[in-house]
């Protein structure tokens, strides 16, 4: 089985409510304005209330931390600075896909993500 380049999705055991979908959606969308802080706050506030929201907030937070590490490594190399635009485009596409999956009530896993927060 070949991994999907846009990530993987699966249905949760318990279908999420409309409010849970909205909070999960926000955990991805807020990264455009507050890259690490947005999903971190949602995770800390909702982790005990909803496993669906906690899952999406953790995935979003892990992806943003991974992007930060990648951008830092590219920035310290001279050739890597030229590739920062590609990382930006890929991250926007993946965040949009994750937002759509969250609004559909699915559990989404980002590809190429270091999962530091479990």
Per the structure block, which two tokens stand in for 42?
Answer: 């949602």
The pLDDT score that the predictor gives to residue 23 is 94
pLDDT value, residue 12: 83
Beta-carbon contacts of residue 19 (< 8 Å; ≥ 6 apart): none
Instruction: Give the pLDDT score at 1.
Output: 37
At 78, is the secondary structure helix, strand, or coil?
coil
- pLDDT digit string (tens) for the chain, length 118 residues: 345 667 777 888 888 889 999 999 999 999 999 999 999 999 999 989 989 999 999 999 999 999 999 999 988 988 888 888 999 999 999 999 999 999 999 999 999 888 888 8
Please tell me the pTM assigned to this model: 0.88
Element (H, E) at 109: strand 107-109
């Amino acid at each position: 089985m070949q991994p999907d380049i846009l990530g993987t999705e699966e249905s949760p055991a318990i279908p999420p409510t409309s409010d849970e979908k909205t909070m999960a959606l926000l955990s991805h969308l807020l990264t455009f304005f507050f890259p690490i802080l947005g999903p971190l706050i949602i995770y800390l506030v909702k982790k005990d209330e909803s496993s669906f929201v906690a899952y999406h907030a953790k995935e979003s937070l892990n992806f943003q931390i991974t992007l930060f590490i990648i951008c830092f490594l590219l920035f310290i190399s001279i050739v890597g600075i030229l590739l920062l635009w590609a990382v930006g485009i890929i991250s926007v596409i993946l965040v949009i896909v994750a937002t759509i999956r969250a609004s559909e009530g699915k559990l989404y896993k980002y590809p190429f993500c270091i999962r530091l927060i479990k």
